[in-house]
Amino acid sequence: MKEVLIIYYSQTGQLLTILENIARNIQGDNVRISYYEVVPKPAYDFPWKKEKFYDSFPESFLQIPTDFESPSKTILDKKYDLVILGYPVWYLTPSIPINSFLKSADAKLLLKDTPVVTVVACRNMWIMAQEKMKKLLLDVGAKLVGHIALVDRNINHISVITIAHWMFSGRKDRYLGIFPKPGVSDKDIKEAERFGTPIKQALLSNNFDALQNEILALNGVRVNPFLIMTDKRGNILFSKWANHIIKKGEPANPKRLKWIGFFKIYLLFAIWVIAPIVFVVFLLTYLPSYKRRKRDKIYYSSVALKEN
């Protein structure tokens, strides 16, 4: 009997549905699937309160762990043949609950020498978050063998509006009746079950060497060269903001909230003013940088980790 553990944090429920659809074509035929939900203490409410959402930025980006409910003894005492790890992206970084788990002794116990397939569902920028995920998995001795990234396919500024509507209202519907629904499309969520077939074949054969190529053949990862550039630039600027704000005290501290307010203004300016300028620069340098962008696309579609 092959044992599979699905570890996840899904604030909205979207990611859990994707994972359940993937699992549909894995379970059965001598494969048993267990689930472990990472539950942070205290929990993050959904929908978000705006102040809490922005005030979570420094700890999220700087990957500062928080407390969470440990897996049951039944889960911790079992050795798994495969772990599927589902995570959302917060501020270009794996979410605080998932980051907290991966920095714990529980993660080392469950993931050491274990094949891992990561699954991310987010608005659009996941590249640098996955690079951080690769390092977290390396630190606990896990073996990353596959990656699936499902994103909102609407254009950047449309998805900014619709995701904000979803996060702060809790409703995954058409904002004002005219905008598209936010998040990963219903079609992509349903069709995520197709990834279960190659995962199961690799699991039963105990050979994951070709798994990522099979996932890519199923369009499991789409790398946008412009978003690589935006993601990298965003990480540089976020680092400056996060390291400055974290020095202003604990969450909800009035002095800190003043700087969180400045960061909120900067974030809106970056999305609506800086991002379009970056896109123009991207277009102007596209041909001279074509070979590098091609190499980047291959690398970020893979499960490899660059050596420092």
The reported pLDDT for the residue numbered 290 is 83
Taking 90 as the threshold, does the pLDDT of residue 65 lie above it? yes
Q: Give yes or no for residue 257 having a pLDDT over 90.
A: yes
At 50, the pLDDT band (50, 70, 90 cuts) reads very high
- Token pair listed for 237: 């600027």
Give the pLDDT confidence score for residue 306 in this predicted structure. 84
Q: Biggest alpha carbon distance in the chain?
A: 58
CA angle 145, 184, 234 (to 5 degrees): 75
For 72-105, the pLDDT digits (tens) are 999 999 999 999 999 999 999 999 999 999 999 9
The amino acid occupying position 156 is N
Please state the rounded mean pLDDT for residues 277-294.
83
Q: Which two tokens stand for residue 286?
A: 């596209």
Contacts 24+ apart (CB under 8 A), 185-189: 185/152, 185/153, 188/150, 188/153, 189/14, 189/17, 189/18, 189/21, 189/150
Q: Which helix (H) or strand (E) holds 62?
A: none
CATH topology (fold) of 2-223: Rossmann fold (3.40.50)
Helix 225-245 and helix 275-284, axial crossing angle in degrees, nearest 10: 140
Over residues 181-232, the pLDDT tens digits come to 999 999 999 999 999 999 999 999 999 999 999 999 999 999 999 899 899 9
Token pair in block for residue 149: 């990234």
Closest CA to 69 of 33, 103, 40, 36: 40
pLDDT at 235: 96
Distance of CA 307 to the CA centre of its chain: 22
pLDDT at residue 29, as a whole number: 81
Distance between CA atoms of residues 145 and 14, nearest Å: 23
Q: Give the helix ranges, DSSP H, for 206-301.
A: 211-217, 225-245, 254-269, 275-284, 290-300
Section 161-176 average pLDDT: 95
The residue-averaged pLDDT of 7-22 equals 97
Classify 2 as helix, strand or coil.
strand
Confidence of residue 277 (pLDDT cuts 50, 70, 90): confident
- Output b/e per residue, 163-181; b: 16+ Cβ within 10 A: bbbbbeeeebeebeeeebb
The pLDDT value recorded for residue 191 is 98
- How would you classify the pairing of strands 82-87 and 115-122? parallel
- Name the nearest CA neighbour of 44 among 88, 110, 7, 76: 88
Specify the DSSP class assigned to residue 267: H
Q: What is the mean pLDDT of residues 38-48?
A: 96
Least confident window among 113-117, 242-246, 247-251, 271-275 = 271-275
CA atoms of 81 and 60, how far apart (whole Å): 30
Copy the structure tokens of residue 255.
């002095």
Report residue 112 as tokens: 């050491």
The per-residue pLDDT for 101 is: 98
Decide which of 155 and 129 is more confident. Answer: 129
| Average pLDDT for the chain | 95
Q: Where is 87: in which H helix or E strand?
A: strand 82-87
* Domain definitions of the chain by residue range: 2-223, 228-295
Instruction: Categorize the per-residue pLDDT at 308 as very low, low, confident or very high, splitting at 50, 70 and 90.
Output: low
Q: What mean pLDDT comes out for the span 126-146?
A: 98
Closest CA to 88 of 154, 29, 152: 152
The mean pLDDT value for 271-287 works out to 84
3 state DSSP class of 184: coil
CB neighbour class for 77 (10 Å; exposed up to 12, middle 13-18, buried from 19) = exposed
What is the percent of the chain with per-residue pLDDT over 90, rounded to a whole number? 88
